[in-house]
A and B are shown apart, each in its own frame.
Chain A
Amino acid sequence: GEDVEQSLFLSVREGDSSVINCTYTDSSSTYLYWYKQEPGAGLQLLTYIFSNMDMKQDQRLTVLLNKKDKHLSLRIADTQTGDSAIYFCAESPTGNTPLVFGKGTRLSVIA
């Protein structure tokens, strides 16, 4: 079945760039998402990318997609303490089928 894998923890210093990586197995994945979960809050959609794109940039966020390796990454430039959260990678073959999530990467930003 479909699977999404992420590393569980990442620690960076304030001001550095963070790169959170994700791999997926479903070759038909068309929509790939990054969600953010702050403590005590729900899952918030950060950004998404379609499989016909290689890169998407949105302010401090850059998403890179390597379809050949089925690898997705989220880069956060100039990481701030407010970026400390759990980041979930998710995929969907059609965009309207249930999302398949990874376990989430806990990002800790050290001041």
Chain B
Amino acid sequence: EPEVTQTPSHQVTQMGQEVILRCVPISNHLYFYWYRQILGQKVEFLVSFYNNEISEKSEIFDDQFSVERPDGSNFTLKIRSTKLEDSAMYFCASSEQRAGELFFGEGSRLTVL
């Protein structure tokens, strides 16, 4: 069964460092998303991406964040200068249609020290 894959599963970084989280969405999907869950908190929407551009983003997704689809298969989330409060589980998701079922990856746990 096709699945969304994410790497790394866990990354530890120092505050101020840049981090790139990678996702490989399901191959025929057109809509891509990043969500995050801070420990003990809710899963929060960060950004959606379609046709090589951001279609929607939340207020969490500030200038420190960026997304890219560099090669037609990967979908990346970059955090330019990490802060302690960026520590969270980051989930990538993809869907075939805009209102279709979201398929989530296993998540990448980011720990900022």
Contact = CB atoms under 8 A, between A and B. Distances in A.
Interface of A: 4, 35, 40-45, 88, 90, 94-104
Interface residues of B, number: 24
The binding surface of chain A is classed by DSSP as loop
A42 B105 contact: yes
Contacts of B106: 40-42
Interface of B: 3-4, 33, 35, 40-45, 48, 56, 58, 91, 93, 98-99, 101-107
A4 B42 contact: yes
The binding surface of chain B is classed by DSSP as loop
B26 to A, nearest CB: 12
A43 B43 contact: yes
Contact of B45 (A35, A41, A98, A102): A98
